[in-house]
Chains A and B, each alone.
Chain A
Amino acid sequence: MTSGRFEEEAAYFAHRAWESLKLSLPVELARVADKLGIVVSERDFDESIDGLYLRLPGAPPVIAVNTSYVKPPARRRFTLAHEIGHHLLSHDLNTESRLFFFDTFSTRRTFIERACDRFAVLLLMPEDLVRAHYAELEHNPGKRVAVMAERFGVSTWALRRRLRELGLQTRPARKR
C-alpha cells in the first residue's frame, strides 16, 4: 500500500463519518468510536505516551488515551481521532489478526502515522466548516483563532496549522 492511498483513504473516511453520522461541532468522538464498535479507555499513562490502538482476536478494538494532566483535552481529542484513524485505515486486514499501534512523542512518523494525523485533521476540522467559521469571525480577527479552536475542540496550534494549510491568515492584518 502506498502512502498516497493511505492519505486518500483518510480523507474518504473522514468525509464519510461526517455524512453518515451527521456530525456537528465539536465532533463527538465518543459517538464515532461507539459507532465503529471501538471501546475507548482513559488511562493515566506515562507522559511519553499519547495513546494506543489494540486489536486482539475475540475482543473488540480498544483505544486507550492518556489522560495524564500533561495532556490537555484538545490534545487528547486529537489523539483519539488519530487512533480511530488507525482502526479505519487497517480495515482491510483480517479481523482475526492481532494489531497494535502506540503513539508517543518519539513515534516514528511513518506514512501510516501521517495518514492517521491527516484523518484526525479532516475529521476534527473539515475544510468547508473551517472556511465558514473563519469567514463568520471576519470582524473579530483578534480572537478568531481562540474562538474557532474552542468551537472545533482543537488546540490553537492545530487550528493555526489547518488555517495556514488552507491559505487562511492566522493573524490580523496590520493597520495602515
Chain B
Amino acid sequence: MSRVSPGFGNLIRAFLASKKLTFRAASLESGVSAAYWTDMASGRIPSEDVIEKIAAAFGEINENELRSAAGYSLKPGTTDPVEAVDFVLRGQDKLPEKAKREILDFVRETAEKYSGGKSST
C-alpha cells in the first residue's frame, strides 16, 4: 500500500495549477501515467525513481523539494550547500520563515566566501 501525504498532494496540485497542466499533459511531458499523476495529486507518495523522472521533465520543479515533501532524504550527490541546508530547514515547521531565510543567506555567503573550496555531500 502506498504512503499518502496531503502535503505532497498539495505540492503536486499547486505545481500543475501554476503550469496549467492537466494530468494527461503532465503524463505526456514526464512519462509518468496520468493515473499516477491523479493519485499523486491526492497525496500518494511516489517512488524515488518517479520523483527523479518528474524533476528531469520539469526544470522548474526542485527534486529535493519533492523529496522533502515525500519524506525522502536529500538527493545523494547534492553538492550545493544552500540546497542541502534548505532541505534540512524545510522540515522545521516551528522555525519562522524569516529565520530560515537568514540562515540560508548566511550559508550562501559563507559558501561564496570560500568558493575556492570544493563541495561534496
Residues of chain A whose beta carbon lies under 8 Å from any beta carbon of chain B: 41, 43, 45-46, 48-49, 52, 54, 56-60, 62, 64, 96-98, 100, 102, 104, 106
Report, nearest first, the 8 A-B pairs whose CB atoms are least far apart: A58-B117, A59-B114, A46-B99, A106-B94, A48-B99, A46-B98, A45-B102, A59-B117
For residue B81, CB closer than 8 A to chain A, the reply is yes
A106 & B120 in contact (Cβ 8 Å cutoff): no
Residues of B within 8 A of A48 (CB): 95-96, 99
**Interface check B16, CB cutoff 8 A:** no
A98 and B119 contacting across the interface, CB-CB below 8 Å = yes
Contact A57 B117 (CB under 8 A): yes
Complex CA gap A106/B116 in Å reads 34
Q: Does B118 contact A (CB under 8 A)?
A: yes
| Inter-chain CB contacts under 8 Å: number | 67
Which partner residue on chain A sits nearest B87 by CB separation?
A: A100
Contact indicator per residue, chain B 104-121, by CB within 8 Å of chain A (1) or not (0):
001100110110111111
Q: Note all chain A residues with C-beta closer than 8 A to B81.
A: 56, 98, 100
The residues of A that contact B32 with a CB separation of less than 8 Å are none
* A46 in contact with B102 given A56-B110, A62-B110 (CB within 8 Å): yes
Give A155 Cβ to nearest chain B Cβ, in Å: 22
User: What is the interface of chain B, defined by CB distance below 8 A to chain A?
Assistant: 81, 84-85, 88, 92, 94-96, 98-99, 102-103, 106-107, 110-111, 113-114, 116-121
CB pairs A–B below 8 angstroms (18 shown): A43-B106, A45-B99, A45-B102, A45-B106, A49-B102, A54-B85, A56-B111, A57-B118, A58-B118, A59-B117, A62-B110, A96-B120, A97-B120, A98-B81, A98-B84, A98-B119, A98-B121, A100-B107
Give chain A nearest CB distance to B105 CB in angstroms.
9
Residues of A within 8 A of B96 (CB): 46, 48
Q: Bound complex: CA of A45 vs CA of B113, how far in Å?
A: 19
Chain A residues whose C-beta falls within 8 Å of the C-beta of B95 in the assembled complex: 48, 104, 106
Determine whether the beta carbon of A104 is less than 8 Å from that of B114.
Answer: no
Complex contact A100–B88 (CB within 8 A): yes
- The answer for the CA separation of A106 and B92 in the assembled complex, in Å, is 9
Q: How far is the CA of A73 from the CA of B78 in the complex (A)?
A: 37
Query: Can you name the residue of chain B whose Cβ is closest to the Cβ of A47?
Result: B99
Are A49 and B107 in touch, CB under 8 angstroms? no
Query: With a CB–CB cut-off of 8 A, which chain B residues contact A97?
Result: 120-121
Pick the residue among B98, B103, B113, B117 that contacts A102 (CB under 8 A): B103
